[in-house]
A and B are shown apart, each in its own frame.
Chain A
């Protein structure tokens, strides 16, 4: 993943599994969230305006807190090169979770809602991760988000009440289940949201502290 702010790409650390730390892989412990870049010209102005206006049209009169499911309809989840600009992103058929997470965040902000970047570590198995590795590698884009049977993923945390958040995964088009009982295939192992001031946020029965990784479930 790429961060325009930090101009960082592919932070890969070779490390053993560290089970007791909230983030199950050290390679993502300090990893920044992704942002779509802007050329500062009309090309990106038009693209970004289109995304914002398109979102409002897609709301269809529903509540502003509804998840922007149309993102997943418009773009397949898949490899995308980094850095990426707005004018490039809108033309692609596939976008990765970093780009989709960034778009969701911008859309919630445009709707007047507060949201934060959210990073996940999710459990899968090596069958799944080897498939993804092959696909991303073939497109010659970074595979640093895959670490054996766990993956790094980006989403969006929407403030839904006083001290409360909901987690929207735009790559899947769903709200992440806060009642999830444990890890396992597709299960969420750790979350970090970036609120900038380290506040405690309620997410179902969990408490997520801003800017820190929170362990959600043990790796089975």
Chain B
């Protein structure tokens, strides 16, 4: 009996070929086992249990048609084939649409039903599927998904590879890299599920389940791959539906369901792999030899009895002799001046993916249609278009920020109405406008008009608020540099002052005692543990906590006491922000109990992404008020700081195309007269973009594409957008609007390259 086994890569992220061979050798000591590989650099070809090797040229050199004919001849001749690679198994399924009795791999119909990320075939199993989103959607929506899931998300390729993307710039880089490696734009983002990883491995022949085992990872590599595990039977509530599904899929071959068990015990299915896993021999050690069962069922030849040596297995690193007829290939020299050898992965799977895409194989059909069209453009609010309609672009000297008056008015009104709705007789909710997000007097005036307080991080900012008409007792002073510039301290009492450190607290106590400072509320800003921030009084040691309690006890009794906390929800994610909010309330309760000072004002910021704030569930905010009241019954006022949620949508940056440069392979670079000096936040979040049609004057939203918008500066990193599609007919002089630029883009913009 001759059995061909592929997928022999045995590096840190190994393929299962060597494990399959070891198990087959145990079940069939006299079988002829032939290793199939596409590179002589793959170390598994030297494994001693292999009788023979069939080394092919790398996938990018292979003529798939003639190679397919050879494989068919082998199978027709009675040999068996167990594939250890997902893509090779897919190619074989395509090659044999009706299957082949000796091809021990799943049929194409099964592949389609186990495709990531939805894994349609999972129905009936006691598993959940992690929340996911295709990268077909607009960048605006992808950013929203990341925020919703606290930036604990994975960008995954269609076959292999996953990258953790904790921020937008990392996401953009990972998307570019994965798309290039796997020759497809069709990727997806998946919400992270925390817990212990476990797998179910199965073996089936023509829809009959031959066996399955459960394995929990007990040690892992830095990439999270199995290094050790324990093996046991699959419980009945999993096995019974699995048996039905395998029959329904007419599954042949090995398979692996990769899962995570969360702290509540819920299993989450991450992937269903169409092959045995690399730990396959671990199960054989534990007494279940699934590759041998597969061959036994296909061939009718009895395998040696299974033998359990242990319920647990682990890996070790072994040196083995290199076969004399397959000497090691030379190691390429590092590129001149570069670090590392920059070698391609010896499994060559990206090359096969590229081949399959080029050949338009059946399993790839339609895969890239939506993605290649740039996906859907982000929806642009009507109010943006209404504001743009009022701009006389003949008078606009680009690059220039445009104030979206109608949009801003609407946002401030909406926020004010919501604060009013969720206020109660006992607890007033009031908004505060963070002047640093955009000190434009028009925005400060709108804040005042709609009943906001003004929040400043310096006395200069407080003066800016006073200049627009705010009273001192409508101003909140905050931050580590709040006393700068010293001579700008206003005469009247402030609404609230929050101390940023123990030293600041002591200084404030002294200033108030000396009559140099007056405020209706005085309090502290606290920094909870587990949050990276340089602001506020840290609570990460009992010692500091005790100092804080002592300091609070010393605060003047004639001012009301309050607590402030601020963390940008756009950075840490929405759910995480709400957890932080709850955490803060717990700290507040402790501070109140231990210091004996009632907390009467609670100031909660901020850094909200506009959509999360304005379109967020009102119920969340109303519940928050209820929670505050339940935990801190003395709070009379909750100051809510939306932060950039007010300013960001209120301005846009108008720019003009200076030049369009066509490069090879559809790559386009368009130079614009704006730059990173006007858009310093360009890499933090996507901006919605519009181009005005030269002929009709209509606003056209820009989709995702391959054009880079290059800034006007002679700075290498002045690329304001790296993935847009300019509408056909775009030419020099055309107007482009970067929306969502009214927050820190505006307030942190700087003068550069203007002479």
Q: B-contacting residues of A (Cβ < 8 Å)?
A: 42, 45-47, 49-54, 56-63, 65-67, 90-91, 160-161, 175, 177, 179, 181
CA distance A45 to B593 in the complex (A): 9
Whether, in the assembled complex, B539 has its beta carbon less than 8 Å from a beta carbon of chain A, the answer is yes
Interface membership of B619, Cβ < 8 A: no
Q: A53-B586, A54-B540 are in contact. Are A60 and B265 (CB under 8 A)?
A: no
Q: Across the two chains, which residue of chain A brings its CB closest to B588?
A: A53
Residues of B within 8 A of A65 (CB): 263-264
User: Is A161 a contact partner of B265 (Cβ separation < 8 A)?
Assistant: yes
B586 in contact with A181 (CB, 8 Å): no
Task: Check if A59 sits within 8 Å of B579, measured CB to CB.
Answer: yes
Asked whether B368 is an interface residue with its Cβ less than 8 Å from the other chain, the reply is no
Within the complex, the shortest CB–CB distance from B575 to chain A, in Å, comes to 6
| Pairs A–B under 8 Å by Cβ, sample size 13 | A46-B542, A46-B545, A47-B542, A50-B542, A50-B545, A52-B590, A53-B583, A54-B529, A56-B586, A57-B580, A60-B530, A65-B264, A179-B311
Indicate if the CB atoms of B586 and A45 lie closer than 8 Å.
Answer: no
Say whether, besides A46-B594, A53-B586, A54-B529, A60 and B264 are in contact (CB < 8 Å).
no
The 10 tightest CB contacts between A and B, nearest first, are A61-B579, A49-B590, A63-B263, A65-B263, A90-B542, A57-B583, A57-B528, A50-B542, A57-B529, A181-B311
The residues of A that contact B545 with a CB separation of less than 8 Å are: 46, 49-50
Q: Specify which of B216, B265, B310, B587 is in contact with A53 (CB 8 Å cutoff).
A: B587
Query: Which B residues from 553 to 597 make CB contacts under 8 A with A?
Result: 575-576, 578-580, 582-583, 586-587, 590, 593-594
Identify A57's interface contact among B230, B530, B549, CB under 8 A.
B530
Whole-angstrom distance between the Cβ of B24 and the nearest chain A Cβ:
26
**Known A50-B539, A57-B587; 16 more pairs at CB < 8 Å:** A45-B593, A46-B594, A47-B542, A52-B590, A53-B583, A53-B590, A54-B539, A57-B580, A58-B530, A61-B150, A61-B579, A62-B263, A65-B264, A66-B194, A179-B311, A181-B312
List residues of chain B with CB within 8 A of the CB of A160.
Answer: 265
Which B residues are CB-close (under 8 A) to A60? 530, 576, 579
**B156 CB to closest chain A CB, in angstroms?**
22
Nearest CB in chain A: distance from B531 CB, A:
8
Task: Provide the bound-state CA to CA distance between A178 and B545, in Å.
Answer: 39
Which of B232, B529, B549, B579 counts the most chain A CB atoms within 10 A?
B529
Which residues of B514-539 have CB atoms within 8 Å of chain A's CB atoms? 528-531, 539
**B413 touches A (CB below 8 Å):** no
Q: Are A63 and B262 in contact (CB under 8 A)?
A: yes
Taken together as a complex, chains A and B put the C-alpha atoms of A91 and B542 apart, in Å, by 8
Contact of A181 among B262, B265, B310 (CB under 8 A): B310
User: Complex formed: what's the CA distance from A123 to B34 in Å?
Assistant: 45
Judge whether B57 is part of the interface by a CB distance below 8 angstroms. no
- Contacting residues, chain A, for B528 (C-beta < 8 A): 57
Cβ-based interface call for B507 (8 A):
no
Residues of A within 8 A of B113 (CB): none
- Which residues on the B side are within 8 Å of A179 (C-beta)? 216, 230, 232, 311
Chain A hits for B586, CB < 8 A: 52-53, 56-57
CA distance in complex: A60, B263 (Å): 14
Is B263 a contact partner of A49 (Cβ separation < 8 A)? no
How far does the alpha carbon of A181 sit from the alpha carbon of B582 in the complex, in Å? 42
Contacting B549 at CB < 8 Å: which of A46, A66, A91?
A46
**Is B667 interfacial (CB 8 A cutoff)?**
no
Name the residue on B nearest A181 (C-beta): B311
Smallest Cβ-Cβ distance to B216: which chain A residue: A179
For the complex formed, measure the closest distance between the CB of B145 and the CB atoms of chain A, giving whole angstroms: 17
Residues of A within 8 A of B590 (CB): 49-50, 52-53
Contacts of A61 in B (CB 8 A): 150, 575-576, 578-579
Contact check, B542 vs A58: say whether CB atoms are below 8 A apart: no
Asked if B218 CB lies within 8 Å of chain A CBs, one says yes
Residues of A within 8 A of B312 (CB): 181
User: In the complex, A99→B264 CA distance in Å?
Assistant: 26
B546, CB-defined interface residue at 8 Å:
yes
A205, closest chain B residue (CB): B232
Q: How far is the CA of A179 from the CA of B231 in the complex (A)?
A: 9
For A56, list chain B residues within 8 Å (CB).
582-583, 586
Q: For A58, what are the chain B residues with a Cβ–Cβ distance below 8 Å?
A: 529-530
Inter-chain contacts of A66 with B (CB < 8 A):
194, 263
A63 and B264 in contact, given A45-B594, A181-B311 (Cβ under 8 angstroms): yes
Instruction: State how many angstroms separate the Cβ of B95 from the closest Cβ of chain A.
Output: 41
> Which chain A residues lie closer than 8 Å to B150 at the CB level?
61
- A49 to B579, Cβ gap below 8 A? no
Q: Is the CB of A177 within 8 A of B194?
A: no
Q: Could you tell me the distance in whole angstroms from the C-beta of A44 to the nearest C-beta in chain B? A: 11
Q: Which residues of A contact B542 (CB under 8 A)?
A: 46-47, 50-51, 90-91
A103 vs chain B, min Cβ distance (A): 13
B546–A46 contact, CB under 8 A?
Answer: yes
Let me know if A49 and B583 touch, CB within 8 A: no
Cβ–Cβ < 8 Å partners of B540 in chain A = 54
Taking CB atoms, residues of chain B closer than 8 Å to A46 are 542, 545-546, 549, 594
Whole-angstrom distance between the Cβ of A40 and the nearest chain B Cβ: 14
Q: How far is the CB of A201 from chain B (nearest CB, A)?
A: 15
Contact assessment for B230 and A49 in the assembled complex, using a CB-CB cutoff below 8 Å = no
Query: Given the complex, which residues of A lie within 8 Å of B232, measured CB to CB?
Result: 179
Shortest C-beta distance, B487 to chain A (Å), equals: 39
User: How far is it, in angstroms, between the C-alpha of A42 and the C-alpha of B612 when the chains are bound?
Assistant: 41
Minimal beta-carbon separation of A112 from chain B (angstroms): 13
Tell me the complex Cα distance, A53–B591, Å.
10
- Which of B145-198 touch A at CB < 8 Å? 150, 194, 196
Chain B residues, Cβ within 8 Å of A177: 218, 230
- Kindly list chain B residues whose C-beta atoms are within 8 Å of the C-beta of A42: 594
How far is B263's CA from A46's CA once the two chains are assembled, in angstroms?
30
What are the residues of chain B within 8 A of A50 when measuring CB–CB? Answer: 539, 542, 545, 590
